Amino acid sequence: MNAFDLSFAELRARRNNKWSRYGSDVLPAWVADMDFAIAPPIQTALGHLVAGHDFGYPLRNGERADRAIANAFERRMKSRLDWTVDVELVQPVADLVQACFASVVAFSDPSDSVVLQVPAYPPFRDAILDNGRRMIEHPLRDTGTQFALDLDALVRLIEPQTKIILFCHPQNPTGRAYGMEELRALAQVAIDHDLIVVSDEIHCDLVHAPLGHIPLACVSQEMAERTVTLSSATKGFNIAGLRCGVMHFGSQRLMQRFHQRIPRKLLGQVGITGIDATIAAWDESQPWLDAVKQHLLEARNHIAERVAKELPAARMYLPQASYLAWIDMSALELDEPPFDFFLEKARVAFSEGASFGPQYNNFVRLNFATSREILDAILDRCFDAARAFQRRRRGSNDPATGDAILQRHKP
Amino acid sequence: MNAFDLSFAELRARRNNKWSRYGSDVLPAWVADMDFAIAPPIQTALGHLVAGHDFGYPLRNGERADRAIANAFERRMKSRLDWTVDVELVQPVADLVQACFASVVAFSDPSDSVVLQVPAYPPFRDAILDNGRRMIEHPLRDTGTQFALDLDALVRLIEPQTKIILFCHPQNPTGRAYGMEELRALAQVAIDHDLIVVSDEIHCDLVHAPLGHIPLACVSQEMAERTVTLSSATKGFNIAGLRCGVMHFGSQRLMQRFHQRIPRKLLGQVGITGIDATIAAWDESQPWLDAVKQHLLEARNHIAERVAKELPAARMYLPQASYLAWIDMSALELDEPPFDFFLEKARVAFSEGASFGPQYNNFVRLNFATSREILDAILDRCFDAARAFQRRRRGSNDPATGDAILQRHKP
């Protein structure tokens, strides 16, 4: 039992998408929310706002509150990643999806194309397609031990009309945290083809030891000048609903180019609860995050061990970051997409593989940011359902059904 | 003493712009924040979020939280204004400035012009000029008893390139709540010249008895189809820092036209604290608002009486809505702008007239949403400073100075 674990009743009482979308007999392992209590400094900051009836036009330290978030980002990047950012080049945003949409509009025209590594978080696809740009899918390469950037393929895919790479680092859903060598090679391609790279680094707080996060903009000054970094405390500190993130532009020129098409005020102001929570997260909540990361690391290794032992047909690599496992269920030879199978037969809700790209229909994304007890219940249900399916297919008379599984694994 | 009054210490502890911008010897009467405790249902809703550690991706009643805000807006417009809106035509936004920027981009091109009644809230001017559109200033007419729309002048000002009227109703800073006759006449001009009207109605909850708010979109179906209504609970319920508002489009066609240039996700999602607070405001906080409005009505009349009696050279009309008095100080013949004079000599911070248009240099905007005690201190300080100035000008030997005034009126 961790200090940050919540009871099953507390989780069910949350009015979030994760615990409300499905029936009460379903264990949710989908949307990127963690089943943990919020870091105490964040709770204190929000409690302070409520106690003070203090929801007017905010100032912080004599400055506009959006400036305070830029300053907090600067401190965080310096102290955690040894990256020196310029607070003048920080633009607060509500969320990373908004930042992607705005970047696509700012740095490309409707006839242009945008590269996206796949599998990909669905809103990235929307940011390209909803804005009438063409999407160039750039599949991650499965090396047999990990997912990797296939830079030779990337060079072949780039067209004269290609203007942007929408990059996700650490990558969602695969959990890849790219190393310096891969980032340098990507940077060279971007420089050679005069591309802007929009680098979503919102999972940067969740890179697992012994690796560390390397911001793309740190590869070289030349690369920084064409990099828009997207960051937030929402993933690491579980406050996505408060809607607060930042864009950082690698040069004044890049920011000016952005604002020529996207005036600041078109983006809207960030709410004060998001700002105060983010500042409390970045400045004061590292002890909470350290404990959570230790738990996540152990959970990740535990899943990998159990999968290898109990359902070896399910193929997964150890995610290097975050609390998401990208699992290939092809070898199970289910007669329906694994998302549907596990929802129906195991009453477990994963994220659907196909939502990350239609070719990933046989994958699921497992969110393991929960207690060990719930995680084991999720795995038990899934393994039992998969075994029952295989017994049925082999003509076995074993009567195991979804209902029987449910009975056994109610947390 | 009202139930919603806060102590001077509580106000000073607020980290809002209103009470932090100036020195501790200055009484703030500027930015549109009310010096009152927040409505209990809003406090309860926010306390519930904090207690539940519930800041993940939100659902409300099985729907996305932004849908919940559209539903709450529909209920509110129906119950308070007898206006039936279509929830499908509601777009949540962070703030009204964002909505103005987006509307100007969506409904005009860079070579086009946009009409703005002046004096005007400064961000309206930014929404026109920052987007490279031409601004057509349309001065409100001073009828001798009130400010009014000058529709003959409007017709003369409209050019072939004019596409939009940015309309503010009730009007900020004058507090005019337009009546049906004026709205009908405005609608006719808009229809005749094929203009879109973006109608900022965020002060609609604060129209004083016996008047009531009439949404521009209610004038006629023909007018509704070219009206974008902007609304929020931020002004009526004092929660501007939570950043939540709505745009309502008078027809499907108008909304589609908007989204052709401004995809939904470019606007960003609204934070859950803004959503829950707004729903609690609209659905449950009317008793609080009724009490606040009664206090504001009495405060408005009190100011008008004291000004007429003690500083008759200051000219003001009774604002029909909100807690802002627009006061013409020209006849005082001060030797500096009244904003500077009262800040220096009375230690009272008004909103500066010139920020609503350079020609309004001799006006100030007084925010009277405070306790009677603080309001009287503000008026005492200002009247004393004005009298001292006049005595000095007449060569009187009276030694009254700003310091002496301060001494007398410390709340």
DSSP for B232-267 reads: -SHHHHT-GGG--EEEEESSHHHHHHHHHHS-GGGG
Please write the tens of the pLDDT for every residue from A71-97: 999 999 999 999 999 999 999 999 999
Average pLDDT, chain B: 95
Per-window interface: A 231-250 vs B, CB < 8 A = 238-244
The reply to whether A31 touches chain B by the CB within 8 Å rule is yes
Residues A303, A348, single domain; the answer is yes
Prior bond of B40 cis (ω within 30°): no
Cβ contact B53–A62 (<8 Å): no
Of the given ranges (A99-103, A255-259, A393-397, B261-265), which has the lowest mean pLDDT?
Answer: A393-397
Q: Which residues of A touch B126 (CB under 8 A)?
A: 265
Of B290, B368, B322, B289, give the one whose Cα is nearest residue B39: B289
Considering CB atoms only, which of A15, A31, A243 is closest to B54?
Answer: A15
Domain contains A342: yes
pLDDT band (50, 70, 90) for residue B1? confident
Residues B295, B399, single domain; the answer is yes
Task: Count how many Cα atoms sit within 13 Å of the Cα of residue A88 in the half-sphere of its side chain.
Answer: 5
Q: Is A233 left (phi over 0), alpha (psi -120 to 50) or beta?
A: alpha
To the nearest 10 degrees (0 to 180), the angle between helices A96-107 and A252-261 is: 90
Residue A122 has pLDDT above 70, yes or no: yes
* H helices present in A209-285, as ranges: 221-224, 234-237, 252-261, 272-284
Residues A222, A192, single domain; the answer is yes
Model ipTM? Answer: 0.94
Please write the tens of the pLDDT for every residue from B267-297: 999 999 999 999 999 999 999 999 999 999 9
* SS3 label, residue B195: coil
Q: Is B147 exposed, middle or buried (0-12, 13-18, 19+ CB in 10 A)?
A: buried
Buried b (16+ CB within 10 A) or exposed e, A73-87: bbebbeeebebebee
Spatial separation of the C-alpha atoms in residues A259 and A106, rounded to whole Å:
8
Spatial separation of the C-alpha atoms in residues A353 and A128, rounded to whole Å:
20
What pLDDT is recorded for position B402?
A: 41
To the nearest 10 degrees (0 to 180), the angle between helices B252-261 and B96-107 is: 90
Domain contains B3: no
Residue B398 has pLDDT above 90, yes or no: no
Residue B403 has pLDDT above 80, yes or no: no
Mean pLDDT of the region B64-88: 97
What pLDDT is recorded for position B397?
A: 53
Nearest CA in chain B to A277: B55
What pLDDT is recorded for position B394?
A: 85
Residue A240 has pLDDT above 50, yes or no: yes
Spatial separation of the C-alpha atoms in residues A339 and B82, rounded to whole Å:
46
The reply to whether B259 touches chain A by the CB within 8 Å rule is no
Q: How far is CA B131 from CA B95, B123, B124, B221, in A?
A: 17, 12, 11, 30
C-beta pairs of A375-379 under 8 Å, 24+ apart in sequence:
A375/A299, A375/A302, A375/A303, A377/A27, A377/A409, A377/A410, A377/A411, A378/A27, A378/A29, A378/A348, A379/A303, A379/A306, A379/A307, A379/A310
Spatial separation of the C-alpha atoms in residues B170 and A169, rounded to whole Å:
48
Q: Is A410 exposed, middle or buried (0-12, 13-18, 19+ CB in 10 A)?
A: exposed
The reply to whether A132 touches chain B by the CB within 8 Å rule is no
Residues A274, A401, single domain; the answer is no
What pLDDT is recorded for position A77?
A: 98
Cβ contact A270–B243 (<8 Å): yes
Of B379, B292, B367, give the one whose Cα is nearest residue B32: B367
Residues B259, B126, single domain; the answer is yes
pLDDT band (50, 70, 90) for residue B395? confident
How close is the nearest chain B Cα to the Cα of A407, in Å? 26
Mean pLDDT of the region B96-111: 97
Residues B278, B301, single domain; the answer is no
Domain contains B2: no
What pLDDT is recorded for position B396?
A: 59
Residue A405 has pLDDT above 50, yes or no: no
Residue A381 has pLDDT above 80, yes or no: yes
Domain contains A2: no
Decide the pairing of beta strands A348-352 and A59-60: unpaired
What pLDDT is recorded for position A61?
A: 87
Mutate to test the interface with A, among B18, B33, B50, B234 (most CBs of A within 10 A): B50
Nearest CA in chain B to A58: B16
Domain of residue A190 covers 42-284
Cβ contact A14–B238 (<8 Å): no
Domain contains B1: no
Domain count for chain B, please give it.
Answer: 2
Task: Look up residue A392 and give its two tokens.
Answer: 């049925």
Residue A21 has pLDDT above 70, yes or no: yes
Spatial separation of the C-alpha atoms in residues B254 and B250, rounded to whole Å:
7
The residues facing A147 across adjacent strands are A142
End-to-end CA distance of chain A: 14
What CATH number does residue A12 fall under? Answer: 3.90.1150.10
Q: How far is CA B215 from CA A51, A309, A377, in A?
A: 35, 66, 55
Considering CB atoms only, which of B59, B127, B241 is closest to A272?
Answer: B241
Q: How far is CA B228 from CA B87, B114, B173, B265, B377, in A?
A: 14, 14, 21, 19, 41
Spatial separation of the C-alpha atoms in residues A236 and A36, rounded to whole Å:
11
* SS3 label, residue A356: helix
- The owner of tokens 């109608």 is B199
Q: Can you give the pTM of this predicted structure?
A: 0.95
* H helices present in B82-224, as ranges: 96-107, 122-129, 151-157, 180-192, 221-224
Cβ contact A241–B131 (<8 Å): no
Residues B326, B271, single domain; the answer is no
Domain contains B201: yes
Q: Which of A257, A284, A311 is the last residue of a domain?
A: A284
Residues A118, A157, single domain; the answer is yes
- For residue A21, the Cα-to-chain-centroid distance in whole angstroms is 19
What pLDDT is recorded for position B407?
A: 42
Residues A305, A232, single domain; the answer is no
Please write the tens of the pLDDT for every residue from A92-118: 999 999 999 999 999 999 999 999 999
What pLDDT is recorded for position A397?
A: 53
Spatial separation of the C-alpha atoms in residues A371 and A6, rounded to whole Å:
8
How close is the nearest chain B Cα to the Cα of A21, in Å? 7
Residues A296, A210, single domain; the answer is no
| Cβ contacts of A191 within 8 Å, gap of 6 or more | A222, A223, A226
Whether A180 contacts A219, CB under 8 Å: yes
Please write the tens of the pLDDT for every residue from A362-377: 999 999 999 999 999 9
pLDDT band (50, 70, 90) for residue B62? confident
Please write the tens of the pLDDT for every residue from A307-327: 999 999 999 999 999 999 999
Of A330, A32, A303, give the one whose Cα is nearest residue A172: A32
Q: Which residues of A touch B53 (CB under 8 A)?
A: 6, 10, 14, 36-38, 43
Of A31, A37, A3, give the one whose Cα is nearest residue A172: A31
Domain contains A3: no
The reply to whether B270 touches chain A by the CB within 8 Å rule is yes
Spatial separation of the C-alpha atoms in residues A223 and A191, rounded to whole Å:
7
Domain contains A335: yes
Of A388, A383, A411, A410, give the one whose Cα is nearest residue A399: A388
The residues facing B141 across adjacent strands are B148
Residues A312, A220, single domain; the answer is no
Decide the pairing of beta strands A348-352 and A324-328: unpaired
Spatial separation of the C-alpha atoms in residues B377 and B179, rounded to whole Å:
34
Mean pLDDT of the region B152-160: 98
Q: Which of A236, A261, A284 is the last residue of a domain?
A: A284
Task: Look up residue B336 and give its two tokens.
Answer: 């500096």
DSSP for B206-228 reads: GBPTT-----GGGS-HHHHTTEE
Mutate to test the interface with B, among A55, A126, A292, A370 (most CBs of B within 10 A): A55
Residue B160 has pLDDT above 80, yes or no: yes
A197: phi then psi, degrees, rounded to nearest 5? -110, 120
Task: Look up residue A100 and give its two tokens.
Answer: 């992607």
| Cβ contacts of B36 within 8 Å, gap of 6 or more | A53, B2, B4, B5, B6, B238, B292, B369
Residues A139, A244, single domain; the answer is yes
Whether B372 contacts B379, CB under 8 Å: no
- The DSSP letter of residue A278 is H
Average pLDDT, chain A: 95
Residue A396 has pLDDT above 70, yes or no: no
Spatial separation of the C-alpha atoms in residues B197 and B185, rounded to whole Å:
13
Please write the tens of the pLDDT for every residue from B325-375: 999 999 999 999 999 999 999 999 999 999 999 999 999 999 999 999 999
Q: Is B118 exposed, middle or buried (0-12, 13-18, 19+ CB in 10 A)?
A: middle
* Identity of the amino acid at A134: R
Q: Which of A284, A318, A334 is the last residue of a domain?
A: A284
Considering CB atoms only, which of B16, B94, B130 is closest to A56?
Answer: B16
- The owner of tokens 């003509």 is A395
- The DSSP letter of residue B39 is P
DSSP for A180-217 reads: HHHHHHHHHHHHHTT-EEEEE-TTGGGBPTT-----GG
Per-window interface: B 273-312 vs A, CB < 8 A = 273-274, 277
